[in-house]
Amino acid sequence: MDTSVKNKIKSIVGQENYFDSFEDRLVYSYDGTPVIQQMPEAVVFPQDEEQISKILDLANNVKFNVVPRGAGTGLSGGSVPTENSIVIVMTKWNKILEIDEKNLTATVQPGVVTGVLQKEVEKLGLFYPPDPGSLNVCTIGGNVANNAGGLRGLKYGVTKNYVLGVEMILPDGKFLRTGGKNMKDVAGYNLRDFIVGSEGTLGIITKVLLKLIPKPTKSITILAYFDKLTDSAQAVSDIIAAKITPAMMEFLDNTTINCVEDYTKIGLPRNVEALLLIEVDGRGSEVKEDAETVKFILKKNKALAVREAFDEAQANILKTARRSAFSALARRMPTTILEDATVPRSELPVMIEKIVKASKMFDVMIGNFGHAGDGNLHPTALTDEREQKELDKAHRAFNYIFDEAVKLGGTITGEHGTGLAKKQFLEKVTGPVGLDMMMRIKKAIDVNNILNPGKIFSLAPKCEGALPKKREQIKNFNEQSSE
Amino acid sequence: MDTSVKNKIKSIVGQENYFDSFEDRLVYSYDGTPVIQQMPEAVVFPQDEEQISKILDLANNVKFNVVPRGAGTGLSGGSVPTENSIVIVMTKWNKILEIDEKNLTATVQPGVVTGVLQKEVEKLGLFYPPDPGSLNVCTIGGNVANNAGGLRGLKYGVTKNYVLGVEMILPDGKFLRTGGKNMKDVAGYNLRDFIVGSEGTLGIITKVLLKLIPKPTKSITILAYFDKLTDSAQAVSDIIAAKITPAMMEFLDNTTINCVEDYTKIGLPRNVEALLLIEVDGRGSEVKEDAETVKFILKKNKALAVREAFDEAQANILKTARRSAFSALARRMPTTILEDATVPRSELPVMIEKIVKASKMFDVMIGNFGHAGDGNLHPTALTDEREQKELDKAHRAFNYIFDEAVKLGGTITGEHGTGLAKKQFLEKVTGPVGLDMMMRIKKAIDVNNILNPGKIFSLAPKCEGALPKKREQIKNFNEQSSE
């Protein structure tokens, strides 16, 4: 990128919000996704909508790429820079602008941390259900861009079910406001829901209006262990078939249980094949009734032990342990590739078997856990990216896992998004017609393909050139530093 | 349209599925929307996806328009033919293909009547909540095309919250399948939710996969009368603020009450200003508790009488009476223009006042009823389209009502769609940037603008030529018939 262009960008955002040293660019050269990385040309922290608009204008005029970014917790490379790009960081837009108790809504800037918002609304007896594993770090803007899920998706749905309105700067620099505080709105096309999950390719989110619901007042958390994986999967199916909708129904396999126990030391048994962590919630007597039915079904499916958390503190310890699964697995090996293949709930037992098979067939250590009630699993390869052979084995295993998920009517990604990491698999799910439709829409909205290009799909073969490189730069940097 | 083109269409669908007599075309020249009408060139009942694809292919090649249609209960003219168009009628695609009790889904053809599906799934203890007023006539395909709402939207959401997958033929004749039985899926752009509510402008729906939920086992229906409109509106706000989410919370004003009473003779008091019909439901003790809280709030807001339906039969009588509001109002005057201006719930009292004001200011009889809990009102002008002066007054009143709704952060349509009837108002809600974005997407998907053109927006000034004419043809036809 020309110095003159860099100077123009600097003059838009101001010297103090512009960074292009090697170290600054390095920090924003990757996100939560393993293996992929690319250095941006510069990193900027815009102060208002007008600055974002001017940057996008400039990008269209002199042709550079713009990659928006929140906390960078994404697991599909959606915020990894592309070639010839600048990163727009939105984390400082972190104000909760309004909590409207009459309409049960919250208006927030995109950089608000999800867990912070949850705590604020819960003080008022309200509830913002979407709870991605990274909720204490990730931001609402990123959640909206990825349509983030979480543990409570089964009963409460995902981010899109709570987005009432979005303000954003479109790729051509124009300001769009869509949606509002109306519970129903069918005026024109549903742009709002289309923007949710578009991974920063259709605009840069500057404000989000969220729906809140009354907080459930009662909950019961139940823990069960199983000698056999298949029994735990059958229990999950039976609970759904019994017309109970738990707030969460989480599954951990033996590898994950052991890693979590190493990490948290809360006394999980190390020799069981599976664990289910189930929470039922609500406001009335049905909570207790549901808990009893759940316990009955667990025992019928040969659960070794079925325990009810005796208070909220204990329930929270269990839920926190579950949330630590990714971090716990990540300690085991240098590289952790966490995926989110998802299948119809009835296919969960089959999919769990297929993942076990993939681990053996391709000789990769795969821990498996996830949102069993959703059919949303997190098979996690524990590998070492420094060994290309090991990495190749992991990729082959996931290729097999995605194929099997799609054969079962499933999808390659339940909640992480497509980004860079999974775009090669996208057509398996969308088919050529769906993929073509997506690409046509991107072209119609981002004529010069300057906003987060190459994510989700590549508009032209040349864009493959923008595929991120491996972590060479980090190695080089480390070598430089130690010299 | 050339005879040779008509013959080609006939050869695609077969003689027995092709109709072009004056009478046949007349029957499909209008839908549930007052005033607007346009004769199609022909009416066809395609037998399979391939026939639909071939018709669209032909339409692109020789340039005619294709207007898809279900039961035609729409209230915004979405299925009224355009100039030089054929109507594709999907009502014979009326099979429920599968009810999957393991995954809680239903797979249906688009012509399945909504109420029929509801009854079938309820036999299995399952629930399909969206319940537009026309549920005993309207079809799922139309519901999806319009993102239909209904009485239960407050607690259970609208059609889009239950659409898991769609199969459709795109404007270029290609077959698209999007979505599936997964509870979470973020692979690529969210085409599925974008198709919902696109009013037949992006494809012809051939199959729908719907989400079902367990049927709530308990419900209590409460009826309350008010001397003052404003008291009833305040009661609605207070119930929401008390963090209760009723399954329905319906409002009827004095005009509507009297029309409903004329029609149903169930003993509604004729001299009250407003009536609220509230249903709380669930599976536990919270149902009874919520009912008590609701009754307390109603009384606090000066309800004249608060009654609880003593059994399901009585509750059904009340709900059926409410559902008859449109039909009841329609008996009063030759022309009934039912609108669906929607505002944030907190603005409901203001909006109700504005509608009363519009009625006086423009000298139009306006009955008002609707989904108070959603802020989704149905101001209904009772007028006579044979008098242009009367019609103009009604249009001016609605112009005012839409302006006021938008000023309050509301929208011009909560559940009926934009269609032809409201496209002139669309930009009030979307702004020029949102409208432009919608039009770009339509152009990208329907390059020749052959599928339901001129609905929602006009792509080019020339399309205004396709604006439907008034009911001249009917008059002519009646005159012809009586001759």
Long-range contacts of A305-308 (CB under 8 A, 24+ apart): A305/A223, A305/A224, A305/A225, A305/A269, A306/A222, A306/A223, A306/A224, A307/A222, A307/A223, A307/A224, A308/A220, A308/A221, A308/A222, A308/A223
Question: Domain of A133: which CATH number?
Answer: 3.30.465.10
Co-location of B236 and B267 in the same domain: yes
The one-character DSSP state at A216 is P
Which pair of tokens denotes residue A94?
């972190």
Report which of residues B223 and B478 the model is more confident about: B223
A267: alpha, beta or left? (left if phi > 0; alpha if psi -120 to 50): left
For chain A, positions 279-308, list CB contacts with chain B under 8 A.
282-287, 289
Domain that holds residue B111: 96-214
In angstroms, the separation between the Cα of residue B281 and the nearest Cα of chain A is 11
Chain B CB within 8 Å of residue A453 CB: no
Residues A439, A418 contacting (CB under 8 angstroms): no
Q: Mean of the pLDDT values across residues A258-276?
A: 95
Name the band, by pLDDT with cuts 50, 70 and 90, for residue A219: very high
In whole angstroms, what is the distance from residue A303 CA to residue A223 CA? Answer: 10
Which pair of tokens denotes residue B103?
């995954």
For chain A, how many structural domains are there in total?
A: 3
In angstroms, the separation between the Cα of residue B142 and the nearest Cα of chain A is 13
Closest residue, chain B, to A203 (C-alpha): B437
The verdict on residue A446 lying in a domain is no
Which pair of tokens denotes residue A28?
């924003």
Look at residue B462 in the predicted model and tell me its pLDDT.
Answer: 38
Q: Mean of the pLDDT values across residues A161-170?
A: 98
Look at residue B362 in the predicted model and tell me its pLDDT.
Answer: 98
Co-location of B70 and B179 in the same domain: no
Answer yes or no: do B285 and A282 touch at CB < 8 A: no
DSSP β-bridge partners for residue A413: A340
The verdict on residue A133 lying in a domain is yes
In angstroms, the separation between the Cα of residue A98 and the nearest Cα of chain B is 15
The verdict on residue A451 lying in a domain is no
Closest residue, chain A, to B212 (C-alpha): A243
Alpha helices (runs of H) in A242-387, residue ranges in sequence order? 254-264, 286-300, 312-323, 325-330, 348-361
Our CA dihedral for A306, A311, A317, A320, rounded to 10 degrees, sits at 90
The count of residues in chain B is 483
The helix or strand, by DSSP H or E, that contains position B100, with its residue range, turns out to be: strand B96-100
Domain boundary among A374, A407, A440: A407
The verdict on residue B427 lying in a domain is no
Look at residue A460 in the predicted model and tell me its pLDDT.
Answer: 63
Co-location of A244 and A343 in the same domain: yes
pLDDT in tens, B147-166: 999 999 999 999 999 999 99
For chain A, positions 143-172, list CB contacts with chain B under 8 A.
146-147, 149, 153-154, 158, 160-161, 170
Look at residue B460 in the predicted model and tell me its pLDDT.
Answer: 63
A101 chain-B contacts, CB cut-off 8 A? 241
Q: Which of B183, B220, B376, B445 to mutate to test the interface with A (most CBs of A within 10 A)?
A: B183
Chain B CB within 8 Å of residue A188 CB: yes
Residues B110, B60 contacting (CB under 8 angstroms): no
The verdict on residue B183 lying in a domain is yes
The verdict on residue B133 lying in a domain is yes
Co-location of B400 and B265 in the same domain: yes
| Tokens 């509230």 belong to residue | B278
Closest residue, chain B, to A412 (C-alpha): B187
Co-location of B301 and B364 in the same domain: yes
pLDDT in tens, B344-399: 999 999 999 999 999 999 999 999 999 999 999 999 999 999 999 999 999 999 99
Average pLDDT, chain A: 93
In whole angstroms, what is the distance from residue B160 CA to residue B164 CA? Answer: 8
**Residue A479 reports pLDDT greater than 80:** no
Look at residue A390 in the predicted model and tell me its pLDDT.
Answer: 95
Sequence-distant (≥ 6) Cβ neighbours of residue B432 within 8 angstroms: none
CB atoms within 10 A of CB A4: 8
pLDDT in tens, B293-317: 999 999 999 999 899 998 999 999 9
Look at residue A106 in the predicted model and tell me its pLDDT.
Answer: 98
Q: In 3D, which of A216, A282, A221 has the Cα closest to residue B282?
A: A282
Closest Cβ–Cβ partner in B410, B414, B441 for A189: B441
- Paired sense of beta strands A42-44 and A18-19, if any: antiparallel
Look at residue A283 in the predicted model and tell me its pLDDT.
Answer: 87
B244 chain-A contacts, CB cut-off 8 A? 214
- Paired sense of beta strands B42-44 and B85-89, if any: parallel
Alpha-carbon Rg for chain A, nearest whole angstrom, is 23
Would you call A112 helix, strand, or coil by DSSP?
coil
Percent of chain B clearing pLDDT 70 (strictly above): 95
Question: Domain of A323: which CATH number?
Answer: 3.40.462.10
In angstroms, the separation between the Cα of residue A148 and the nearest Cα of chain B is 9
Answer yes or no: do A189 and B194 touch at CB < 8 A: yes
Name the band, by pLDDT with cuts 50, 70 and 90, for residue B283: confident
Domain boundary among A407, A432, A457: A407
Sequence-distant (≥ 6) Cβ neighbours of residue A114 within 8 angstroms: A128, A130, A131, A132, A134, A135, A136, A138, A139, A140, A143, A148
Chain A CB within 8 Å of residue B123 CB: no
Domain boundary among A214, A232, A266: A214
Q: Which amino acid is at A246?
A: P
**Residue B465 reports pLDDT greater than 90:** no
**Residue B11 reports pLDDT greater than 70:** yes
In whole angstroms, what is the distance from residue B461 CA to residue B466 CA? Answer: 10
Co-location of B113 and B226 in the same domain: no
B289 chain-A contacts, CB cut-off 8 A? 283-284
Co-location of B145 and B69 in the same domain: no
Co-location of B403 and B390 in the same domain: yes
Co-location of A208 and A222 in the same domain: no
In whole angstroms, what is the distance from residue B34 CA to residue B77 CA? Answer: 8
Name the band, by pLDDT with cuts 50, 70 and 90, for residue B461: very low
**Residue B318 reports pLDDT greater than 70:** yes
The verdict on residue A432 lying in a domain is no
Answer yes or no: do B146 and A103 touch at CB < 8 A: no
pLDDT in tens, A79-104: 999 999 999 999 999 999 999 999 99
pLDDT in tens, B217-234: 999 999 999 999 989 999
**Residue B423 reports pLDDT greater than 50:** yes
Percent of chain B clearing pLDDT 90 (strictly above): 90
**Residue A476 reports pLDDT greater than 80:** no
The verdict on residue A472 lying in a domain is yes
**Residue A440 reports pLDDT greater than 50:** yes
Closest Cβ–Cβ partner in A104, A153, A190 for B240: A104
In angstroms, the separation between the Cα of residue A125 and the nearest Cα of chain B is 8
Which pair of tokens denotes residue A192?
């709002």
Chain A CB within 8 Å of residue B249 CB: no
pLDDT in tens, B88-141: 999 999 999 999 999 999 999 999 999 999 999 999 999 999 999 999 999 999
Co-location of B100 and B79 in the same domain: no
- What DSSP letter does each residue of B293-343 carry, written as one string? HHHHHHHHTTEEEEEE-SSHHHHHHHHHHHHTHHHHHHTTSSEEEE-B-B-
Residues A141, A410 contacting (CB under 8 angstroms): no
B438 chain-A contacts, CB cut-off 8 A? 188-189, 191
Answer yes or no: do A184 and B342 touch at CB < 8 A: yes
Chain A CB within 8 Å of residue B103 CB: yes
Which pair of tokens denotes residue B329?
């109002």
The one-character DSSP state at B21 is S
In whole angstroms, what is the distance from residue B88 CA to residue B95 CA? Answer: 18
Residue B449 backbone phi and psi in degrees, to 5: 50, 55
Chains A and B: how many Cβ contacts under 8 Å?
289
Chain B CB within 8 Å of residue A443 CB: yes
For chain B, positions 329-388, list CB contacts with chain A under 8 A.
342-346, 371, 373-376
Look at residue A302 in the predicted model and tell me its pLDDT.
Answer: 97
Would you call B32 helix, strand, or coil by DSSP?
coil
Would you call B200 helix, strand, or coil by DSSP?
coil
Q: Which of A252-261, B193-202, B464-473 has the lowest mean pLDDT?
A: B464-473
Answer yes or no: do A187 and B426 touch at CB < 8 A: yes
Q: Which of A121, A186, A190 to mutate to test the interface with B (most CBs of B within 10 A)?
A: A186
Residues B208, B165 contacting (CB under 8 angstroms): yes
Would you call A341 helix, strand, or coil by DSSP?
coil
Co-location of A326 and A310 in the same domain: yes
Q: In 3D, which of A25, A139, A31 has the Cα closest to residue A87?
A: A25
Answer yes or no: do B285 and A289 touch at CB < 8 A: no
Co-location of A269 and A378 in the same domain: yes
Closest residue, chain B, to A432 (C-alpha): B176
Closest Cβ–Cβ partner in B193, B416, B444 for A193: B193
